[in-house]
Structures are given as C-alpha cells and as structure tokens.
A and B are shown apart, each in its own frame.
Chain A
Amino acid sequence: MTKSKAYIGFITPGFILYTVFMIVPLGFAIYYSFFSWSGMGAMDFIGFDNFKRIFFEPRMSGIFRNALGNNFRYMAIAIFVFIPIQVGMAYLIHLKVHGHNFFRLMIFLPYVISPSIVGFFTLLVFDPNIGMLNTLFLTLGWTNLVSAWFGSPDIAFFLLVGVIGWNGLGVGMVIILANMKNIPEDVVEASIIDGATVWQRFWRVELPFLQPSIINVVVLSSIFALTQFDIPFIVGGLNGGIDGKLDFLNLMFFRYTFGDAYFGETALGFGAAISVVVFSIIFMIALVQKLVFNRLFNR
C-alpha cells in the first residue's frame, strides 16, 4: 500500500505537467482541425474539409507531398548515412586515436551553437555574390567550383542536409560513445586473444552491444527529421527555398497557419489539421520502428 502511494506521488507532478503541456494542446489541435478559424472571432465547423484540402486539393496536396518527401528523404539520409558516421566517429574516439579529445570537442561543438546562428552563418558562407566560399574559390582561381549553392535546385537540399547534419552529428555520437564505454572489457579482451582483427572485433563483438544506443539514435533522428524547421526556415525562407527543395512539413505548417499563405489570412484551423497529420505520421513511424526493432532484436 505504501509502495503504490510512493509511486503515485513520484509520477504525479510529471504526469500533470505532461498532460497540461502535451496532451491538452494536442486535444485542442485535433478539435481546431475541424474548424475554419483565423484565430479571431467565430469558428466555423467544417468537418473534414481541412484534411480534404491537404490530401486532395491539387495545389495543396502537391505542396504537402513535396514537403513530406523532403522530410522522408532527410530521415533516410539521417538513418543510413549519418548514423554509420556517428558510430564510426564514436568508435575512433573510443579507440583513443591521436587527438581524440580534440576531435570529440570539435564534433560536438556545433551542437551548442543555436540553429539561428548556424542558419545565419550558412547564408554568409554560401551567398553566391558576396559569400566567403565563392569569394575563396574566385581568389584561388577555381571558378568552376563557384555555385549558386542554395539557389541551385540540384544541390540545395543536400547542402541543407549537410549543414543540419554538421550541427547535430555530435549528439548521436555522444550517445553511442557513452554506450561504448559500457561494453564489457573482458569480452573485448577475449576477442583480441582469439585473434580477431579490429574490424571483426567491432562488427562481431562491440556493435551488438551498441544496440540500445543505436535504436535510441534512430528514433531520435527520425523524430528530428520529421520536425525540421529552424535551419530550413532561415536558409530557405518561408516558401521552402528554390523550387520548394527546402520545404518541410513544419515549415508548411507555419506558412499556412501564421503566414496567411493560403486563405489571405491566418488559418489556425487549417494549421491545426496539418499538425494533426504530422503528428499521426510521426506516431505511425515510431510505432513501426518499435515493432521492427522488437522483432529484430527479440525485445
């Protein structure tokens, strides 16, 4: 009896805060999504019309699919490119290669820089006419490398992903590195005694122990990829950059909710519908990932 009361006392504050700041706003968002509402005055109930516009109205559905596609593309790069890089970097630091402390600091340092600052300096570096990069290339006579950068539809997306990756790689690396420190040393030593190469040791012995941290990083990276906003907003602007290459779901949400971008006025009901759709997508992806990992690792 006393034990259960202690549990209740322990979780109640967190439960209240979570309910007030997460569940209640979510409920309101779902409620608003069924209305046409500018944020002032009367709310007109319109049923599923907002959702129909998102999925079936020709212009809006195209914009939605483009933004969703960008989010998914970023998520794929984050999982299949960034995470292996994070594991590799963490392993090199774990092996204490020359300068490992310096590398650890340099890799993690970009994360402490605010995304607003990262976006601002990205613009300074990559401006085609006055930016540092093109100026350097012109000074060195490498004119074939001069580019419009974020003005080039072919490379703008990958350049943005690179900038976001540079800003956030350190976090996943630190999580994986912390997990590496918990790998039992006797198992590793036994593999060395048995003649395992560095690669064999890593792949067959150490990597399986990193399962918990890699799963966490995959889930966090997925959520991060699906909720991208700040750097794309600063670098690409409100309309999603050149040809919409830098448009993401959260940017689309902001544009149509607050930027009076569709109805000529702010549209909180429509924005709420977009946010409900985004939430549903994130929820489904998180669920699928959980099922996949459970099956793969018999958890």
Chain B
Amino acid sequence: MKKVLVVFLFALVLVSPLFAAGQKATLEGDKVVLTIWEHTPQFELPLRNTLERFMEKNSDIKVEYEIKTPDNYLSLLTTAIQAGEAPDLFWHHGTATTDMANLTRQGALMDLTNKVDVKAYSQMSRDKVTWEGKLYQTPAATIDTRAAFYNKDLFAKEGWKVPKTFAEFETLLATIKGAGYIPLSLAGRDNWNILFLFEPILAAMHPDWIIEATAGKARIDDPRVIAAMEKMIEWGKKGYYGTLFLGVDEAGQYLSFSRGQAAMTVAGSWTTTTLTNNNPDMKIGAFQIPTRDGRKPIVLTYAAGFSVYSKTKYPDQALRLAKYLATVESQQIWVDGLGAIAGLDGVNSGSELADEIADANLELESFYNILVLGHAEGKSPTKVWEEDNPKLFTGTVTPRNFVKTLDSMMSYPNL
C-alpha cells in the first residue's frame, strides 16, 4: 500500500508541471476573449486605453493584452505561430523589416484588404502595412521621429536659445559644456540610441544624401555619410556626451537628462511620456537639429499597427478589433496615450511637446530604413549596423570601413 502511494505521489510530481502551464481562456461566459501582443512596455498605456474604449463599445468581446520586450519579441511570436498558438492580434514591424515578408510567406496573417478602411491614411503609412498589394496590418497614426529634447528651465536660467542653424547648435554644445553640464546625454552602449542621434546629425549635415539615397541614387559608401559619422565621433571626443558615455545605457541617458545633469538629449519621439514621467516638474522643450542653411529636417518613420492571426479561433471578433484599431477615434486615444505626433487628418498630436517635435519643414527618410529597403538578398546591413555602431566611439571600427561593410550588403539597381 505504501509502495503504491509512493509511486502515485512520484507520478503526480512528474505530471504536475503540465497543469501549471494551463490553457488560455478564450470564452468568459458569453464573451469572446481575444489576446493581443505588443512588443514594448512603452506602448502599454495607449494600448490599454484603446482596448478599454473598444470593450465599452463591444460588450460581447473581452481583450487581454500581453506586453513583451523588444529583444525577444520576434522569437516569441515565431515560436507561438509555429506552435499554432499565436495571439489573435499582434504587433510587428510591418515592411520596416523582413517581418511582413516572412509572416505572409508562412501564411500567418489574415488578409485585411477591403475589410479594414485605411483610405484616410497617407501612402507612406499604408506602404508600411501592405505587402504585394494586400493589406495585412492596421496602419498607425503616429509618426516616429527623433528630436533634441532640452531643459527649458535650464535654458532660460543660462540664457541659451534654441539654435537656428547647425553652426549655432555646435556653438551651443560648446557653451553648455563650458557651463559644467553635459550638453547631450547619450547611451554609448546602446546601438539604437546611437542610431537616433546619428540620423538627425546626418539629416542636418547632408539632407541631400538622404533624398538621393531614398530615390536609390546614392550609395551608403558616400563621403557625406562618413562626414556625419565623423561629426558624431568628434562630439564624443569633445566631451559633449559626457566623459563616461560609453558606459551609459538607455535608462541612464534619460535619467541623466531628467535629473538635470544633461541640458539636452536626442531621443525618439515616443520617449516624451518617459521623459515627462521621469521628472514631472521639468519643463521640456524639443527642436529638430537645423541644417547649415536653417532648414528644419525631420526624420520620419511611420509606425505600424496590428495584424490578425490567420488561424484565430474568432475571426469575426478579431476583425472587429482590427477595424476599430484603424479608426480615427482609436488612433487619437493611442496618440494621446503616447504623447506622440499624429500623422493622420482628424487626429491631433498628443501634446504641446509633440507639436514642437513636429515643427519642421523638410521630411526625410531614416538612415535605418534606407538600409532595410536597399539590402541585398540574404544580407542584413541593419544588423551589422546594430552590432558595430558603438565601436565607432572606441575606434575599433572606423567610419570609412564601416560604411564600406554596410555598402557591400546593399543592392543598388538604379546605379
């Protein structure tokens, strides 16, 4: 009897983890339960607000969201799709990366063509979510860009002015350093934050290169790109990012600005909520780094929305959510929650700060997108960029060699 009991308990211990895994509920009483995945905690607030409004209007549907982290989101999504357990809706990069191509090739996305109304969105926004003529993802009304955020109180106290030309910006950096502050906090360890600094520098120094490269008429291996990289490195050597920036991570960059150690920081427009929440008492302003002749370039990427899983158990309900996510109302909630810049008529930018960020007169493609759109088959210049761009500051990689490597991974059919 004792032996039987021991064997039974042992078997129970072996099997019990299987119960711990559990199954996600898809029905709650009369309500259908949908699951939606987002890739970064920064978007939790706008997602939650949007879903709450949707559920108020659709009382027969409950939507549960899961916020993942960017570094392993794609692997989680791929694994879930492979296992046939993908969420009903999920975010992905759209055509900004190979996500759209891969997911459509695997038949993981529901065709939303003529099912979701996207007529009001700009062509650039629709290009982000369309593949081979079909709509596979809801567009987003937010424009992602980069801006120089500055401490308005500090600027007022020291008598510093928002620069009108690139030369004035460089003079301002030297002045701020002379006053004992870090001119521009920078996460020297973070390849993404380095990108978000490099792109405005390139846009300010050589907007002509960006325009040519977007049209497929300029190579990555171009003296103008090298010059922008050298300028970014030069500012590091001059101490404009602080002397210890190579050890700073993303959180450290934002906190250094929020604590008043740094007078400015160049960051993505989606960080306005983070910067505001870090120090609610700080008055924050923003501007675009101007060109030599005083134009205000803005590097734009349109955000992407959500796709519907092709094998969702509740296609009708999932489609209703997708339709709602594409509406002006939903996009306004999203933009408000993010404090973001709106890129859709009828949607107002989320804040005065967003208006300052959007104060520009020259729209430009992002350097990263140029790498994505022009990559050669089987090559990934974006990933080489991500791996190696911090090495520009240590000198392990020189700008000349770096652009050569990137250039070798591109395809130039128009040249």
Using CB atoms and an 8 Å cutoff, list the residues of chain A in contact with chain B. Answer: 13, 17, 38-41, 59, 123, 126-131, 134, 146-153, 236-239, 241-243, 257-266
Chain B contacts to A: CB under 8 angstroms: 10, 14, 71-72, 74-75, 78-79, 81-82, 97-98, 102, 105-106, 108, 182, 185, 188-191, 242-249, 251-252, 255-256, 259, 261, 375, 378-380, 382-384, 386-387, 390-391, 394, 396, 405
A39 touches B82 (CB 8 A): yes
Contacts of B185 in A (CB 8 A): 129
B380 near A263 (CB under 8 angstroms)?
yes
| B106 (CB) vs chain A CBs: closest residue | A40
Report the 6 A-B pairs with minimum CB-CB distance, sorted nearest first.
Answer: A151-B247, A151-B246, A128-B244, A258-B75, A148-B247, A264-B380
Per DSSP, chain B at the interface is helix
13 A-B pairs besides A40-B102, A266-B74 with CB distance below 8 A are A127-B249, A127-B252, A128-B244, A130-B261, A149-B247, A237-B190, A242-B246, A242-B390, A258-B75, A260-B380, A260-B383, A264-B379, A266-B75
Name the residue in A38, A146, A260 with the highest tally of chain B Cβ atoms < 10 Å from its Cβ: A260
| B residues in contact with A262, CB < 8 Å | 380, 383
Q: Specify which chain A residues have a CB less than 8 angstroms from the CB of B378 in the assembled complex.
A: 263
Residue of A nearest to B10 (CB): A13
- CB distance B244 to A40 under 8 Å? no
Contact A152 B246 (CB under 8 A): yes
**Nearest CB of A to B14, in Å:** 8
How far is B246's CA from A153's CA once the two chains are assembled, in angstroms?
9
The CA-CA distance from A214 to B251 in the complex, in Å, is 42
Establish whether residues B394 and A243, one from each chain, have CB atoms under 8 Å apart when the complex forms. Answer: yes
* Residue of A130, A134, A241 contacting most chain B CB atoms (<10 Å): A130
**Complex CA distance for A146 and B106, rounded to whole angstroms:** 52
CB-contact partner of A151 in B102, B245, B251, B405, under 8 A: B245
How far does the Cβ of A213 sit from chain B's closest Cβ, in whole Å? 30
> Number of A-B pairs whose CB atoms are under 8 Å?
124
Main secondary structure of the interface of A (DSSP, over half): loop
Residues of B within 8 A of A259 (CB): 71-72, 74-75
CB-defined contacts of B259 to chain A, threshold 8 Å: 130
A-B contact pairs, 7 of them (CB 8 A): A39-B75, A126-B247, A130-B256, A239-B387, A243-B390, A243-B391, A257-B75
Which residue on A lies nearest to B191, using beta carbons?
A: A239
Q: Decide: A128 near B252, CB < 8 A? Known: A152-B246, A243-B391, A261-B387.
A: yes
Check if B387 sits within 8 Å of A129, measured CB to CB.
no
* Alpha-carbon distance between A130 and B256 when the two chains are bound, in angstroms: 7
Decide: A129 and B256 in contact? CB cutoff 8 A: yes
Best-buried of A126, A127, A150, A236 by chain B (most CB within 10 Å)? A127
- With contacts A39-B78, A264-B375, A266-B75 taken as known, whether A128 is within 8 angstroms of B382 at the C-beta atoms is no
